[in-house]
Chains A and B, each alone.
Chain A
Amino acid sequence: MEDNVTYTVEQVKSRISEAFPTAVKFESKVKPRRLFMTADKGSLLKLCMFMKDQLGFNQCSLVTGVDWCDRMQVVYHLTSYSSNITAEIVVDIPRDNPEIDSITPLWGGANWHEREAYDMFGIVFKDHPKMERLLLPADYTFFPLRKDCKTGGP
């Protein structure tokens, strides 16, 4: 697809809901040039491929994790330069087995974001080219931004 085709938020919304009628749910939050949705763990990679190839979302600006104590979330921000839209995808993953497909093969910019999410939350991104610690020393055994991680004084 050409990069210079522009879509409005409604067009993007309808295209996605056509392609993923059950897996993707849109949130009612409305902001100009923003799009909020939640997706299934299994359909995330397909959704990202669809958004990249069909809708021209050519940048992944953010991948991070959220620890809600009973579950974990992975948050993606995808941006389209041509249509000036930033889409937020939130994916719930179970806390005892935090695994999700990597989107690094689609956007190289997600590489270090995913490694940092692994570093801080212990979320394992499958098929990531180098799933190792990025910021912390390699011999750390805990994930510091999880809510059950205890910090203590000397």
Chain B
Amino acid sequence: MDLSAYPNAIAMSAKEFVEWSTNVMDDIVRATGVKRGLDKVMDPLLNWGVRNSMYPLHFGIACCALEMAACSGPRYDNERLGLVFRSSPRQCDVLLVNGWVSKKLRPALRRLYEEMPEPKWVIAMGECAISGGPWYDAYNVVQGVDTFIPVDVYIPGCPPRPEALIDGFLRLHQKIKKSKIGTFMDD
């Protein structure tokens, strides 16, 4: 515990006290190995929880939205994978962009992405969302979602089958598994 950075240990301001106590707790947790223990328990647990409750935003743009609907139907039943389509971006983890994005839609989609809480992922589904697709030279279609939103998984197809959509979500599973999403503190 180093008090030299805080010479007025007796009378600290509130801000200083928060900083000091945070550092003290940090040091204790790291030094005693509690952090390692917590990480060992919490990382797989949180990771498992996040992976199995990915809520995509129910935002159908074009014909890929029909495949999305088929995917949520009884035959493919994506709720067994924990994919529940929610209507509010505040309750969502995954932004599933399924269709061409016109220049008028772009600011709205960007805003939906900003409104989603972290951690969040973006899936570009179908050719139009990946690169513009059949409208690769159109005057009003954005040439790919990745020009204004970071995309994690691309699902090619025009439109992709529901199996492909599920495969894309399982690939996102692998990506989440590799990320240290459940670690207790930053190293």
Contact = CB atoms under 8 A, between A and B. Distances in A.
Contacts of B140: 136-137, 144
B104 A152 contact: no
Given A137-B103, A137-B104, A149 B137 contact: no
Interface centre among B136, B137, B139, B143 (most CB of A within 10 A): B139
Size band of the A side of the interface?
under 10
B41 interface: no
Interface string B133-174: 000111110010000000000000000000000000000000
Nearest to B138: A151
Contacts of A153: 136-137, 143
A152 to B, nearest CB: 6
B126 to A, nearest CB: 18
A75 B104 CA distance: 28
Interface string B42-81: 0000000000000000000000000000000000000000
A154 interface: yes
B103 A154 contact: no
A154 B143 contact: yes
B139 A144 contact: yes
A151 B138 CA distance: 6
Nearest to A149: B139
B104 A142 contact: no
Contacts of A137: 103-104, 140
Contacts of B137: 151-153
9 contacts: A136-B104, A137-B103, A142-B139, A144-B139, A151-B138, A153-B137, A154-B132, A154-B136, A154-B143
Given A137-B103, A144-B140, 15 more contacts: A136-B104, A137-B104, A137-B140, A142-B139, A144-B139, A149-B139, A151-B137, A151-B138, A151-B139, A152-B137, A153-B136, A153-B137, A153-B143, A154-B132, A154-B143
